[in-house]
């Protein structure tokens, strides 16, 4: 017997087969109906929704796929909302960028056509551009919104559609939900106006690039040291993405004259032919760059993801081997460098702050507090960091922000994580350390000696498709309704449920309100200082378990032993959670 959910996705598929859709789309739907009912169910069992990264999915026919009609529907809903929200503006303006993914210009053109067909002025970049530059363009051109066609570091079959507001930040409440509601009202393909108006479409490029690079150069904290260390050997790879032009250009603008590339990975190609995954969190993504760095005796390796908002870093250890830094380690190095230099220049006046996400290392808070700088926590997703920046405008001064997933920001002229800014400041921090007789890795060890050895682990459990989504929900409900008393033989002393907005003290049984937007996230804190966060991804078919542990360290010689012990603690937590 066919259940109601099966009937629903079959009915949706039939509507596409019978509706006003192009012939190629209808052929693909018919093929799925005849040959692959499981893929058909995944393509139609739900509609793509905005998560922490916006609209993102596998390309193909279906309501749960990235295609002309889901992109058109999202754009029509956004256009309707913009016209309502900015009804007093004579002309609503939107900027559009895209990365190197397959169908990049196709989706960008559909977006530009639908917006301009609705009387909205659009600025479209002349070629691939980093996501953070879109944020900059929105602010520079006084736009009311912006869209970037990207699926960040997802596999090649994915594409996405990320929406920004007039402050240059990703959509947050109430606009995110309001846009979704408007998109839901676009029930028929006939509701979408695809007839673009060329007179409302303008190409942008080099002028924005130049202004953007100028602002990045202004963030330099030690230009005189960069001059001394201008020959610092840096190997950089864009992993076939948008950083290919602007990262080397920005580094050279800062004063670094010895930036080496990987020609095979400079190729703009959405198939990402030289890597299994264009994700700088994956060690294999940096293999070619590290190989070149060894051959050239370089000191710093950096790789950016396809839309250049995240950066991976590798640095030399005492044996001359390259060590990959994780996102928390890079964040600690950046925050420590930037804050310490602000302090050295007398710029800390008591109104400065940093922002991190709840899954990011607590060492950032320790560093900030030690220098008299406030630290704010947000939910996962850089849009929440940007929301704090907006709320604090004209009240306090933003120094920097970061999240464990390799995204960082300094300055407030961009309102999203920015790998171009980050690459420049990481290079400058490396030059500063070298000028002071240290490597960047030795600088990290100094930070741990001062604040404690923080170590973090991440366990991701992938559950694809409709059945996988149901499994992930079941896992969260299990931990929510039946939390463990102990983890790795340490009592749980506090538990946070961000979906309910409460924190429970296990010792007293008292509940306290926590002031965050509601989100399907759980956190457990143990007596030995372990922090465990459970969170279904908003952009990928997986659930993530973030584990943070800490131990004091007093001698550099103890580093290997304590590192091993902390790794064992992380593995024990994973085992206790039943995730092996």
Q: Cβ(160)–Cβ(149) under 8 Å?
A: yes
DSSP-assigned letters across all residues of 79-146: HHHHHHHTTT-SS-EEEEEE-SSTTHHHHHHHHHHHHHHTT-EEEEESS---HHHHHHHHHHTT-SEE
Give first-to-last CA distance, the chain, whole Å.
37
Active-site residue flag, 152 = yes
Report the distance separating Cα 575 and Cα 578, nearest Å.
5
Secondary structure of residue 147 in the 3-state scheme: strand
The dihedral through the CA atoms of 32, 38, 39, 40 has a sign that is positive
Q: CA geometry: angle at 270 spanning 27 and 117, to 5°? A: 60
Q: Cβ(50)–Cβ(58) under 8 Å?
A: no
Nearest to 395 by CA among 364, 439, 436, 350: 350
Q: Which residues contact 2 (CB under 8 A, 6 or more apart)?
A: 10
Q: What is the dihedral of CA 279, 280, 281, 285, to 10 degrees?
A: 80
Name the β-bridge partners of 571. none
CA gyration radius, the chain: 24
Residue 174: asked if its preceding bond is cis (omega within 30°), the reply is yes
Nearest to 557 by CA among 430, 448, 432: 448
- Annotated active-site residue in 73, 116, 145, 152: 152
Q: Strands 300-304 and 234-237: what pairing?
A: parallel
What residues act catalytically? 152
């Amino acid at each position: 017997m066919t259940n109601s959910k099966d009937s629903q996705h079959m009915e949706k598929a039939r509507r596409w087969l019978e509706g006003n859709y192009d012939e190629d789309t209808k052929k693909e739907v018919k093929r799925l109906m005849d040959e692959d009912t499981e893929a058909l169910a995944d393509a139609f069992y739900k509609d793509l929704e905005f998560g922490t990264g916006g609209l993102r999915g596998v390309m193909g026919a279906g309501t749960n796929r990235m295609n002309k009609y889901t992109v058109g529907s999202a754009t029509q809903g956004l256009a309707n909302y913009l016209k309502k929200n900015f009804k007093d503006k004579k002309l609503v303006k939107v900027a559009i960028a895209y990365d190197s993914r397959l169908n990049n210009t196709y989706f960008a053109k559909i977006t530009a056509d639908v917006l301009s067909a609705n009387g909205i002025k659009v600025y479209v970049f002349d070629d691939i551009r980093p996501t953070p530059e879109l944020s900059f363009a929105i602010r520079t051109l006084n736009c009311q919104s912006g869209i970037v066609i990207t699926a960040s570091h997802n596999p090649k079959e994915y594409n996405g559609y990320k929406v920004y507001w007039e402050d240059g930040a990703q959509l947050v409440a109430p606009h995110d939900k309001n846009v979704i509601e408007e998109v839901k009202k676009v029930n028929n393909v006939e509701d979408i106006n695809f007839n673009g108006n060329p007179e409302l479409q303008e190409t942008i490029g080099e002028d924005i690039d130049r202004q953007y690079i100028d602002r990045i150069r202004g963030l330099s904290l030690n230009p005189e040291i960069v001059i001394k260390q201008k020959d610092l050997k840096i190997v950089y790879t864009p992993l076939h993405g948008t950083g290919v032009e602007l990262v080397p250009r920005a580094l050279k603008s800062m004063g670094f004259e010895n930036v080496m590339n990987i020609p095979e990975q400079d190729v703009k190609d959405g198939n990402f032919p030289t890597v299994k995954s264009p994700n700088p969190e994956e060690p294999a993504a940096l293999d070619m760059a590290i190989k070149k760095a060894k051959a050239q005796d370089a000191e710093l390796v950096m790789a950016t993801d396809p839309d250049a908002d995240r950066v991976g870093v590798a640095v030399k250890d005492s044996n001359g081997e390259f060590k990959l830094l994780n996102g928390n380690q890079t964040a600690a190095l950046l925050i420590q460098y930037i804050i310490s230099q602000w302090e050295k220049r007398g710029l800390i006046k008591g109104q400065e702050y940093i922002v991190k996400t709840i899954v990011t290392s607590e060492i950032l808070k320790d560093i900030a507090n030690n220098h008299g700088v406030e630290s704010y926590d947000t939910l996962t997703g850089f849009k929440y960091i940007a929301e704090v920046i907006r709320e604090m405008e004209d009240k306090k001064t933003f120094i920097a922000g970061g999240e464990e997933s390799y995204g960082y920001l300094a300055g407030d002229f961009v309102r999203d994580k920015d790998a171009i800014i980050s690459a420049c400041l990481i290079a400058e921090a490396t030059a500063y350390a070298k000028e002071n007789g240290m490597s960047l890795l030795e600088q990290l060890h100094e930070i741990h000696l001062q604040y404690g050895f923080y170590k973090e682990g991440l366990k991701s459990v992938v559950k694809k498709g409709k059945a996988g989504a149901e499994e992930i929900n079941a896992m969260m409900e299990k931990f929510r309704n039946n939390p463990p008393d102990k983890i790795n033989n340490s009592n749980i002393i506090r538990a946070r449920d961000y979906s309910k907005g409460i924190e429970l003290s296990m010792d007293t049984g008292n509940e306290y309100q926590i002031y965050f937007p509601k989100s399907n996230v759980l956190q457990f804190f143990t007596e030995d200082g372990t922090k465990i966060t459970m969170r279904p991804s908003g952009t990928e078919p997986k659930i993530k378990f973030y584990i943070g542990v800490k131990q004091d360290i007093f001698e550099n010689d103890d580093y290997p032993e304590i590192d091993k012990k902390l790794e064992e603690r992380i593995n024990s937590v994973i085992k206790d959670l039943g995730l092996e």
